[in-house]
Structure formats: C-alpha cells, structure tokens
Amino acid sequence: MVKILFVCHGNICRSPMAEFVLRDMVNKKGMGDQFEIASAATSSEELGNPPHRGTWEKLREHGINPAGKYAVRLTRDDYQEYDYLIGMDQWNIKNMHRICGGDPDAKIRRLLEFAGRSDNIADPWYTGNFEQTYADVLEGCEGLLEHMEAGGVL
C-alpha cells in the first residue's frame, strides 16, 4: 500500500483538494485499495475545521464529496508513517522539513514537481481562484500517479 500525505498551510484549501482529487482518480481506476491518502497542515490555525467553502464547491462541481474531512496538523511521526509527503508550495516544504526534523529519505516533495513544473500551487485563500488551484492540483496529481506507475510503485 502506498501512503501519501498532502500538506498545505491550513489543511482547508489545497491539501484536502489534492487528497480528494487523487482519491477520486485512484478509485476510478479501481486502485483505491492500494492507497492510503490523507492531508494535513503545517499550522494550527484551522485545526478541526472542514474544507473551505471554495474547495468544497470546486470538488462538488467535479462529483467529489469531501464530507468528513477536518483539518489536522502534520506531526514528526507522519514522516515515518507515509511514503510521500507532498507540499503545495516552498513555504510548506520549509515547514515540513522543520516539523519532520529533516528529510533523510527524500520523501518530501512539491506537488507540481510531478508535473515537471517548479512553481507553487497558489493558495486560493488569498487569490480566491479555486479554479486555477483545482487545475494545478489535478495536473500535479496526474503527474504523481504517472510517476508511481512508471516507477513500479504500483
């Protein structure tokens, strides 16, 4: 089983979007039982809150229901628990290294790296552009799945 943890600042916009998009993708391919997919925050500001209304609406537009998701915080133990810890931007990556005590096994990556891009996924909390965030998350998740399939992980 491949264990993936998506991480953003508050765990209410980008990381839950990625969690549910990838979960939907693998379920549609009949591979859902091969994955454990979750998401977490690097901050404690939104702990216990459901996904942002904009994230919820964008996922629902695509037939994805994020019900039951509430923000949780990344812990040092998560580093040992997951195979991939995937941040949305450079600040998430920096904070993930700090929280996890480094990255000796090279598990921490930025999502858009899997799409061959070096840029960040913009935070729709600030931009208000949930459509662009969804497009970037989808592109990153597609690249991640291709990466795992090509590397023999699946």
**Known catalytic residues?**
8, 14, 123
Tokens for 154? Answer: 């699946």
Residue 64 and residue 21 in contact, taking contact as beta carbons nearer than 8 Å: yes
Q: What residue ranges in the chain does DSSP mark as E strands?
A: 2-8, 35-41, 84-87, 108-110
* Residue 122: CB atoms within 10 Å: 16
Tokens for 123? Answer: 């935070």
**Cα separations (Å) of 43 from 19, 50, 85, 91, 146?**
18, 15, 15, 11, 30
